[in-house]
Structure 1
Amino acid sequence: MEFKLSSPAFNNGTQIPSRYTCDGENINPHLVIHGVPAKTKSLALLVEDPDAPAGLWVHWVMWNMPPDTTEIREHTVPFGAKEGLNTRRKHGYDGPCPPSGSHRYFFRLFALDQKLELKADAGKEQLEEAMMTHILATTELMGTYSRTNEGPM
């Protein structure tokens, strides 16, 4: 089975419902993980917006998810997983909140051949450095969000 990340909340390339953004409850959407490679020891997740005016905006940094994780339920973190700092310098999920226009949000999932030893204040850069030579597979799910044409939910 192919390593894949999906969500019952939105399809790849479609609009993320406002519930998962700063215009709603600002909670993480339900994510489903398929086909984790056999030699995986841990999973890591990065959620990023490359369209932010100030440059890449990091919305979620998470590592050491157990390899048997099949889903990340809405508004939860898998048991044993660690959350690092996002661009707001806070732990946890920070939902889409573009100042204008439509932005793309990439949920990138990594299968790793080991658990990672990172400090609690680690961010995207530290996670990427620690993962560099340990990535077995990667997959991504991309959603968009635009505050200007968001209708009532």
Structure 2
Amino acid sequence: MNKSLKRLILFCGTAAMSMSALSAMQVSSNDISHGDFMAKAHEFNGFGCTGEDKSPQLSWSGAPEGTKAFAIMAYDPDAPTGSGWWHWQLVNIPLDVTSLPTDAGNPSGKNAPEGSLQIENDYGVAGFGGACPPQGDGAHRYQFTVHALSKKLDLNQSASGALVGYMVNAHTLDSATIESLYKR
């Protein structure tokens, strides 16, 4: 293979990777950072935890064409349950919403986007339930994933975490995750 052809292949591959990176969804937050520990404001208030139970501010961009709604899933894969722990499942966020304020997951629903639906978390509350790893269990990972959905989901507030996860994954066009840590 001649030098010019090798350069063209390398250029095309690099350009394709760059274009892919530009079109991929991204998520950010003013309250949490990827790989860093969350503040006590995001700790649950109950089960021996004494936090403020506030969901973090989240912003996202780069949703692909065909997106009809968004979903946010907050999950602790390190919970000692055998199946992790769902802290927040917010679905059917309108297409024109690309940012949520701190405490958007308040169970009162007053801070959630109009038309969205908060599903019962593993605490049994329809809204955000903060971090509350067992005392001395070490750092747990808290994954906040924003999903671009191909359609609004037909779910109700008491749908199981498994059903919501199935529906979200079945209709995800793209997603982005920010993972923070917490320990007590």
Q: TM-score, normalised by structure 2?
A: 0.75
Structure 1 residues not aligned, in runs of 5+: 148-153
Aligned to 1:37: 64
The CA RMSD over aligned residues, in Å, is: 1.3
The amino acid across from 2:62 in the alignment is G
1:58-114 deviations in whole A, cap 9, x for unaligned? 100110001121111111222211011111221100000111311100011111110
Does residue 1:107 correspond to 2:129, yes or no?
no
Structure 2 residues not aligned, in runs of 5+: 1-21, 45-49, 105-111
The amino acid across from 1:97 in the alignment is C
Conserved? CA contact 1:36–1:67, under 8 Å: no
Measure the CA separation in 1 of the matches of 2:183 and 2:141.
9
Q: TM-score, normalised by structure 1?
A: 0.90
Measure the CA separation in 2 of the matches of 1:96 and 1:4.
23
Measure the CA separation in 2 of the matches of 1:74 and 1:133.
28
Measure the CA separation in 1 of the matches of 2:56 and 2:156.
26
When you count helix as a share of all residues, which structure comes out higher?
2
Does residue 1:143 correspond to 2:180, yes or no?
yes
Match of 2:55 among 3, 19, 28: 28
- Alignment partner of 2:164: what SS? helix
Match of 2:93 among 45, 49, 65: 65
Q: What is the aligned length?
A: 147
Aligned-residue sequence identity (percent) comes to 33
Does residue 1:117 correspond to 2:154, yes or no?
yes
